[in-house]
Chains A and B, each alone.
Chain A
Amino acid sequence: MQTSAAEKIFVKGNEAVAMAALEAGCRCYFGYPITPQTDIPEYLARELPRLGGEFIQAESEIGAINMLLGASATGARAMTSSSGPGISLKQEGISYMAGSELPGVIVDIMRQGPGLGGIDASQADYWQATRGGGHGGYRIIVLAPNSVQEMYDLTMLAFDLSDIYRMPAMVLADSVIGQMKESVTPNPRPQTLLPPKEWVVRGRADGTPQNVVKSLYLGDGEMEAFHWKMHARYQELADRECRWEEVQTADAELIVTAFGSTSRIAKTAVAMAREAGMKVGLMRPITLFPFPKKAYAALSERCKLFLDIELSTGQMIDDVRLSVARDADVSFYGRPPGAGSLPTPEELFEQIRKNYRACA
């Protein structure tokens, strides 16, 4: 799309992801139809050829993730997208990418599960996304947009972080954000300093070292060393790349915490609470891995009550509780995925009211 930097456009969340990928220099996309993200492959089927890029609708999500692995190993910026069942299929491929220290962006527009589930919004794949959903004990970068603008900006960030830290990065949204339309400023690609990709497989010229992209470590102590290396890299991520949004937390006696589409509804409920005289704030993590533990810990030094709200029976709450430890209570309100399960602001306001108590 040719627009001037300042010109706003009105697009779907899914389209914003696709546009941002192209702006970020992604010229390889491999995907498969699955509701509610099919707009992404449809957009890229149309636009990638115009830019000389490669679009493949693979035979399955398994095919797609393995195509991503191959393209990434050559140094190309590549992306795939899917939803629950397809993300489950990709786990082996994602594990291989993590084990091979390959960058690559995986977009997950969450739908209801488990199994075939349904197509309405869900946040019940938080664990799958943040706990390294495949085998072997790895983690991937997980970014959680809550607006179409963030779908755009965080997709570009995903490519950068993925390249810098040599690991897969996931953009985690849901069918509400994927399908809704909002104004977007299509920001240009940031001028991020990226490390050179000396490790790519490229066909060696004489005298250059062989590059092998693999995840097999059979030598004595090799696998252990790899795990500690990744452990240190995850710590580096946590130290440098946490992102979150705070709203009116400075004097809050109850802090609502939510991510993605739930956080939008929660923001309205928090405003209603303030209107009613309650000192309520909102803490919204944007990086789900690395989880902004230190930010939560800092908040819990002053505020002793959090209300965690999710479209599930409670997954992010584990990370909230770990972060605040014994310094604060964490209440929960959940609307597990299902048609008709999006809470209203009034509903969340009621939960805030029930939980609110003036701090002693």
Chain B
Amino acid sequence: MKQVFTRPESLKDVATHFCPGCHHGSVHRLVAEALDEFGIRSETIGVASVGCSVFLYGYFDIDVIESPHGRAPAVGTGVKRARPDRIVFTYQGDGDLAAIGMSEIIHAANRGEDITVIFVNNTTYGMTGGQMAPTTLPGQKTSTSPYGRDVKKDGAPFKMAELLSNLDGVAFSARVALNSPKNVLQAKKMIKTAFRYQVEKKGFSFIEALSSCPTNWGMTPLDANQRVTDEMVPYFPLGVYKNTANL
């Protein structure tokens, strides 16, 4: 009897604080698998952000810096410029990256920093209780959009994978989801490709991972997972938006 599915070494053997059905755990695991696959665990520095992802250092068995809200791409830039021989990734939510951190991500991407950005998009501010986020869908009710997101006043949701793909500094930009086994396996492939860009020094790589937030959506894990399928994927199409080195 051989064990064919195991916890990646880069992921600590601990219980997580994530809610039942939250896809953060899946994304964590896939990133850890990528670090294992390339054998880069001991060279990797993670940059945690503020939100449900703040406890990165408790789950990844790597060095981690805690960055202020939204500033992880800037912190990551500092790390990579000082230690270009390290693998640097940021792990951010939609409020962190696309609201307060929009300036930092745009500029780090534009400069083409040799880092990898993992962006978990669940259309809400999770940690603080479900407020409207830059990726909240039109009409979606949250605690700060009680009447539903009004595109006329709040703007349309940002499509970060597309937006960043327009910057010359971005080498790889892809959007994935974790809502089905097929999509999980595809996400695994894309996340590995993103890290391969950094390992092969081919430029800035970006992964947008559509995720559910059952607690703040007021849904069961399975219903929330279905919302990713029914509402999020149509609005945020999965796919590769930039792949300059054709990896």
Contact call A42/B143, Cβ cutoff below 8 A: yes
Q: How far is the CB of A54 from chain B (nearest CB, A)?
A: 9
Contact call B125/A33, Cβ cutoff below 8 A: yes
Q: How far is the CB of A65 from chain B (nearest CB, A)?
A: 13
- Cβ of B99 within 8 Å of any chain A Cβ, yes or no, is yes
- Cβ of B50 within 8 Å of any chain A Cβ, yes or no, is yes
A116 contact from B54, B95, B129, Cβ within 8 A: B54
- Cβ of A32 within 8 Å of any chain B Cβ, yes or no, is yes
Of the four ranges (under 10, 10 to 19, 20 to 34, 35 or more), the interface on chain A belongs to 20 to 34
Chain B's interface: helix, strand, loop or mixed, by majority? loop
Inside 8 A of A33's CB, which chain B residues have their CB? 95, 125, 128-129, 131, 144
Given that A59-B99, A60-B70 are known contacts, is A34 also in contact with B145, CB under 8 Å in the complex? no
Inside 8 A of A115's CB, which chain B residues have their CB? 66
Chain A residues 28-75 with CB under 8 Å of chain B are 32-35, 38, 41-42, 45-46, 49, 55, 57-63
A45 contact from B99, B102, B128, B143, Cβ within 8 A: B143
Contact call B131/A57, Cβ cutoff below 8 A: yes
- Cβ of B5 within 8 Å of any chain A Cβ, yes or no, is no
Inside 8 A of B95's CB, which chain A residues have their CB? 33
Inside 8 A of B69's CB, which chain A residues have their CB? 60, 85
Inside 8 A of B143's CB, which chain A residues have their CB? 38, 42, 45
Given contacts A34-B128, A59-B100, A61-B100, 17 further A-B contacts (CB under 8 A): A33-B128, A33-B129, A35-B127, A35-B128, A38-B131, A45-B143, A45-B144, A45-B145, A45-B146, A55-B144, A57-B131, A57-B132, A59-B99, A60-B69, A60-B100, A85-B68, A115-B66
What are 14 A-B pairs at a CB distance below 8 A? A32-B100, A38-B131, A38-B143, A41-B144, A42-B143, A42-B144, A46-B146, A57-B132, A57-B144, A59-B99, A59-B100, A59-B134, A63-B100, A116-B66
Which B residues form the contact surface with A (CB < 8 A)?
50, 54, 66, 68-70, 95, 99-102, 125, 127-129, 131-132, 134, 143-147
Which A residues form the contact surface with B (CB < 8 A)?
32-35, 38, 41-42, 45-46, 49, 55, 57-63, 85, 115-116
